[in-house]
């Protein structure tokens, strides 16, 4: 078994939202302020662009102990030198991603509901965690599945044999409610990437997560 990382504050990057500051600098500020996990997500980037960006982020994370995962592109994880991949329901299959990653890298899968948790059970130890969402509606991912709210999140956590990370519409005002569902972590895009000051925004999320009551 791979050791479980600290999922508590999970940053998913958005290149457009990071703007002129850029993804690597945004990641550096966020990690110094308390992000514990980073996923590089740029569905519009070509392969070369994604590899270059991924390597820059990997360099920023070197020595921090914070893992870097790549969205969708398990095939580029080795070239980037990342620590794993995160795939969605419509992406490559879990067995295919695991075969590309080998046994030591991390693999997460997005689910929307309990039915998708049950369908994933057969993957067992090939998976490390589930991303669950969107919890709330978000303009960050146009065309996303209908939001399930904290109620459905709680149901998924209860049904899941893997640690769960919530995503979708999470900000500082909602993170305590998210933690109360029993998730291992909260993933955010705009709350950090679109913030004027990513470090301050991260610190607030971190403090509120730490102060919140863990769910059961
Ligand atoms: N998957 C489900 S919702 C979402 C992704 C990538 C976007 C979440 O973005 P935000 O800005 O944290 O609501
Ligand atoms: Mg995907």
- For 105-117, the pLDDT digits (tens) are 999 999 999 999 9
190 lines ligand 1 (CB under 6 A): yes
Q: pLDDT at position 213, please? A: 85
Question: Residue 148 burial by CB count (10 A; 0-12/13-18/19+): exposed, middle or buried?
Answer: buried
Q: pLDDT at position 216, please? A: 53
17 lines ligand 1 (CB under 6 A): no
Question: Residue 128 burial by CB count (10 A; 0-12/13-18/19+): exposed, middle or buried?
Answer: buried
Q: Whole-angstrom Cα distance, residue 203 to residue 216?
A: 25
- At 8, the pLDDT band (50, 70, 90 cuts) reads very high
Q: Residue 169 CA: which ligand 1 atom is closest?
A: 13
CA distances from 52 to 35, 40, 71, 112 (A): 22, 11, 15, 31
The ligand minimizing its distance to the Cα of 192 is 1
* Mean pLDDT in residue range 185-210: 98
Q: pLDDT at position 2, please? A: 86
Q: From ligand 1's centre to the CA of 130, what distance in Å?
A: 14
Q: pLDDT at position 214, please? A: 81
- At 143, the pLDDT band (50, 70, 90 cuts) reads confident
Predicted TM-score (pTM) of this structure: 0.98
Q: State the average pLDDT for the chain.
A: 97
């Amino acid at each position: 078994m791979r050791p479980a990382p600290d999922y508590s504050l999970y940053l998913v990057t958005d290149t457009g939202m990071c703007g002129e500051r850029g993804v690597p600098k945004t990641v550096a500020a966020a990690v110094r302020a308390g992000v514990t996990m980073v996923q590089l997500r740029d569905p519009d980037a070509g392969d070369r662009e994604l590899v270059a960006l991924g390597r820059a982020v990997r360099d920023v994370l070197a020595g921090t102990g914070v893992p870097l995962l790549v969205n969708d592109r398990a095939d580029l994880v080795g070239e980037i030198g990342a620590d794993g991949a995160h795939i969605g329901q419509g992406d490559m299959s879990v067995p295919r991603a695991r075969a590309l990653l080998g046994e030591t890298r991390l693999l997460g899968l997005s689910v929307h509901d309990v039915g998708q948790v049950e369908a994933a059970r057969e993957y067992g130890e090939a998976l490390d965690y589930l991303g669950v969402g969107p919890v709330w509606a978000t303009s960050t991912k146009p065309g996303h599945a209908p939001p399930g709210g904290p109620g459905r999140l709680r149901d998924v956590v209860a049904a899941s044999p893997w640690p769960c990370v919530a995503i979708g519409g999470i900000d500082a005002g909602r993170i305590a409610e998210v933690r109360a569902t029993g998730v291992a972590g909260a993933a955010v895009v705009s709350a950090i990437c679109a913030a004027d000051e990513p470090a301050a925004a991260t610190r607030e999320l971190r403090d509120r997560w730490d102060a919140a009551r863990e769910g059961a």
